[in-house]
Amino acid sequence: MEKVKEDGETMNYKKWKKLKRKETLLKEAARVINVQEEHLTKTIKRFLKEIEEMKRILNSKREKLSVSL
- pLDDT, residue 37, reads 95
Instruction: Judge whether residue 50 has pLDDT over 90.
Output: yes
Q: How confident is the model over 3-22, as pLDDT tens digits?
A: 766 666 778 888 889 999 99
Residue 5: the pLDDT is 67
Q: What's the total number of domains in the chain?
A: 1
CB burial of 21-41 (b: ≥16 within 10 Å; e: otherwise) equals eeeeeeeeebeeeeeeeeebe
Q: What is the DSSP string of 33-68?
A: HTS-GGGHHHHHHHHHHHHHHHHHHHHHHHHHHHHH
Confirm whether pTM is higher than 0.85.
Answer: no
Structural domain span for residue 35: 3-68
